[in-house]
């Protein structure tokens, strides 16, 4: 049976189970990963809560052990636990069976090398695809073993090391785990802190009974917003199914855009670090973050969107922190990887010490930096649209780091092709709400 090549994406392998991705494909891809990277040591293998994950995990484990490598079985995990396990314990690499925030019928594979170095189509995934299609099985006479390892306690202590637990004041929070693994970790993380949790969608369930487990979708935020108001909670937090992205809500139940959250986190981290630290800007929206970083004596770096690309720059330039509008937050002290729990803990500490509400923190940015939010449009020829936009706005300050970005004194935009879908993505920010609306209309006329 040949492998469906459509499952190979920019940063991972993903498709509908079992039509596009199945046990045979996962076996071959796991072996191809070993051929390409030839790891020096055991391979960490985890899985998410999806119903097809245990069976696919077994196939990956068989592929790895048949090739003579030991498998470190870390069980059902959040994706950031994979990064932690590989980097912390010095293993040869890692794979998790996961389709992240995709609907329940999907599954996939995410890969890292030693030290949790990210793998993308530009750094090995294309070669994995090539090897998997060759259909050459590796069967070593000395097969590897499957070794179980419980990493949860160490992972939790690592997340808590980012804050001073002693300063946390009492909070009542609503937490939406979206039926993934976040709830399992959160209960342990907050066990000794004065935080009352109102649990929402906490029980892991690969059926995802309320739909796609992705808080980036506005309709998936309504439930938590309403519950925050009903329970008169101090704030809310949500994760996607594999819990590597974090989303915060203020005490009024309003979503705090990840753009603003990035600025708040940059401020927190720069305030307690050295003054000349580097912070990566997301080219889609960055004025707020840039202003905070420069105000605190930091240095800004612009980087192309995508977790593998961001992590690579962070390692090379020893970057302190990066945040994306999608809810990925990256920390140098987290092995240059993203983590879904650390942003929430940093905010808890900051609210405790500053004695402020989250809406007060967000207000500083909401009233000054007006944004469109990401607007996605299907187009036949994305390159042509980007070229037309660049031509129309050539009198502005043009950046081609990722798609096209053009900046003026009172507004700016970024227009780029998606790495994962056949769409073009538009982001506009401006000094006034009216200007945002005006420019969105103008740009949509070009796109359509």
CA distance 336 to 131: 28
With 0-12 / 13-18 / 19 or more C-beta atoms within 10 angstroms meaning exposed / middle / buried, residue 94 is: buried
* Contact in structure between 244 and 326 (CB atoms under 8 Å): no
Closest CA to 64 of 149, 137, 153: 137
Classify residue 415 by its DSSP letter.
E
Instruction: Output the CA–CA distances (angstroms, integers) from residue 326 to 216, 282, 416, in the order listed.
Output: 7, 10, 15
Helices (H), 93-221: 126-134, 152-160, 182-189
Helices (H), 38-125: 53-66, 79-89
Catalytic residue among 52, 100, 120, 352: 100
3-class DSSP assignment, residue 446: helix
CA distance 152 to 85: 10
CA distance 380 to 375: 16
Listing DSSP states for 121-142 in one string gives IIIIIHHHHHHHHHT-----SS
Helix (H), strand (E) at residue 224:
helix 222-231
CA distance 257 to 266: 14
3-class DSSP assignment, residue 377: strand
Number of other residues whose CB lies within 10 A of the CB of residue 320: 23
The yes-or-no answer on residue 100 being catalytic is yes
Number of other residues whose CB lies within 10 A of the CB of residue 386: 20
The encoded tokens of residue 259 equal 């753009």
On the question of a cis peptide bond just before residue 18, with omega within 30 degrees of 0, the verdict is yes
Instruction: Output the CA–CA distances (angstroms, integers) from residue 169 to 159, 328, 354, in the order listed.
Output: 18, 26, 11
* Contact in structure between 119 and 125 (CB atoms under 8 Å): yes
List active site positions.
100
């Amino acid at each position: 049976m040949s492998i469906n090549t459509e499952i190979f994406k920019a940063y991972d392998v993903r498709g509908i189970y079992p039509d596009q991705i199945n046990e045979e494909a996962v076996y071959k891809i796991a072996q191809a990963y070993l051929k390409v990277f030839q790891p020096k040591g055991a391979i960490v293998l985890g899985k998410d809560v999806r119903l097809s994950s245990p069976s696919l995990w077994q196939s990956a484990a068989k592929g790895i052990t048949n090739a003579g490598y030991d498998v470190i079985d870390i069980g059902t995990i959040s994706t950031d636990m994979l990064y932690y396990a590989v980097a912390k314990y010095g293993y040869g690499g890692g794979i998790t069976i996961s389709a992240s925030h995709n609907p329940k019928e999907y599954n996939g594979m995410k890969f890292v090398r030693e030290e949790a170095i990210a793998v993308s189509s530009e750094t090995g995934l294309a070669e994995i695809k090539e090897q998997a299609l060759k259909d050459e099985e590796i069967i070593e006479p000395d097969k590897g073993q499957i070794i179980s390892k419980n990493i949860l306690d160490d992972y939790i202590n690592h997340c808590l090391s980012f804050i001073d637990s002693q300063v946390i004041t009492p909070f009542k929070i609503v937490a939406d785990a979206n039926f993934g693994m976040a709830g399992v970790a959160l209960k342990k993380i907050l066990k000794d802190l004065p935080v009352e949790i109102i649990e929402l969608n906490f029980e892991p369930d690969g059926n995802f009974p309320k739909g796609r487990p992705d808080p980036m979708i506005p309709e998936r935020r309504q439930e938590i917003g309403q519950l925050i108001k009903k329970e008169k909670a101090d704030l809310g937090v949500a994760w996607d199914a594999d819990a590597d992205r974090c989303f915060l809500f203020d005490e009024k139940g309003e979503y705090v855009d990840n753009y603003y959250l990035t600025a708040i986190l940059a401020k927190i981290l720069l305030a307690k670090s050295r003054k000349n630290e580097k912070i990566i800007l997301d080219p889609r929206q960055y004025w707020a973050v840039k202003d905070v970083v420069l105000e605190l004596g930091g240095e800004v770096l612009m980087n192309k969107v995508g977790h593998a690309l961001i992590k690579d720059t962070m390692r090379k330039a020893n970057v302190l922190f990066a945040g994306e509008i999608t809810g990925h937050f990256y920390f140098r002290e987290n092995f240059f990887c993203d983590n879904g729990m650390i942003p929430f803990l940093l905010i808890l500490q900051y609210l405790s010490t500053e004695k402020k509400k989250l809406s007060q923190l967000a207000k500083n940015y909401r009233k000054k930096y007006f944004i469109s939010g990401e607007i996605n449009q299907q187009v036949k020829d994305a390159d042509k649209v980007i070229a037309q936009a660049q031509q129309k706005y050539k009198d502005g300050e043009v950046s081609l780091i990722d798609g096209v970005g053009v900046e003026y004194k009172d507004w700016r935009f970024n227009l780029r092709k998606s790495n994962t879908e056949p769409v073009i993505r538009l982001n506009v920010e401006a000094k006034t709400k009216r200007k945002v609306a005006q420019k969105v209309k103008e740009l949509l006329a070009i796109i359509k």
